[in-house]
A = this chain, B = another copy of it.
């Protein structure tokens, strides 16, 4: 039987997983808005971000209550602080999805991503979404090996980012400065979403093992 502290901690991690689900929807919908130039979906991503913000506040209140009432020390204390950091990162991933949606909205009725570079951008978006989806399962199952694997896959995002720059800066680029700037910033946003996913996965490793993976990005 688990004690009160660990039961309440489980509830916090359950809520983190739920917020991660909201973030996954935000990333996926922002990408849809971007690739289809759909202003309604873009607006929905932007307005739904408040839900993530409110859920973040609720988790923070829970975590502070846990710290105040249960007075955890040592490892337990660090786990609660890790949860506080994870929720901050999840909120930030929501903000980054809003940035993607805002670029989509800015270019409607056009599509911000030119057809030629769309395959690379789609892969970046899919990689980010996949990492968010996997990190949700990692939180729920406290799956250390899946978390370490996620850290390794971050290299895929780096490769895609480099590939996008090669296309943008090549002599063949015919879509002008505006599209290039959009693509560079979108790449940055997806890359940061992936970075946060890796960071959250690393925090799960810490929560389970008490050790930071070497690659921990605090």
Q: Which residues of A approach B to under 8 Å, CB–CB? A: 56, 60, 64, 67-68, 71, 73-74, 77-78, 81, 84-85, 88, 91, 165, 168-169, 173, 176-178, 180-181, 184-185, 188, 218
- A168 to B182 Cα, complex, angstroms: 12
- The answer to whether B56 touches A67 (Cβ under 8 A) is no
Contacts of A74 in B (CB 8 A): 68
A56 to chain B: closest residue by CB: B218
- A35 to B43 Cα, complex, angstroms: 38
- A60 to B173 Cα, complex, angstroms: 47
Separation in Å of the A69 CB from the closest CB of chain B?
Answer: 8
Q: Which of these, B77, B177, B188, contacts A169 with CB under 8 Å?
A: B177
Apart from A64-B78, A177-B180, 9 more pairs, CB < 8 Å: A56-B218, A60-B218, A64-B81, A68-B73, A81-B84, A169-B177, A169-B178, A169-B181, A181-B181
Contacts of A67 in B (CB 8 A): 67, 77, 81
Q: Which of these, B71, B169, B178, B185, contacts A185 with CB under 8 Å?
A: B185
Interface of A is mostly: helix
Contacts of A178 in B (CB 8 A): 169
Separation in Å of the A36 CB from the closest CB of chain B?
Answer: 23
Contacts of A81 in B (CB 8 A): 64, 67, 81, 84
- A184 to B179 Cα, complex, angstroms: 12
- The answer to whether A88 touches B180 (Cβ under 8 A) is no
Closest 6 CB pairs of A and B: A181-B184, A177-B180, A68-B73, A71-B71, A169-B178, A180-B181
Separation in Å of the A192 CB from the closest CB of chain B?
Answer: 10
- A74 to B78 Cα, complex, angstroms: 18
Q: Which of these, B56, B73, B78, B173, contacts A177 with CB under 8 Å?
A: B173
Contacts of A173 in B (CB 8 A): 177
- A156 to B68 Cα, complex, angstroms: 40
Contacts of A64 in B (CB 8 A): 77-78, 81
Separation in Å of the A199 CB from the closest CB of chain B?
Answer: 10
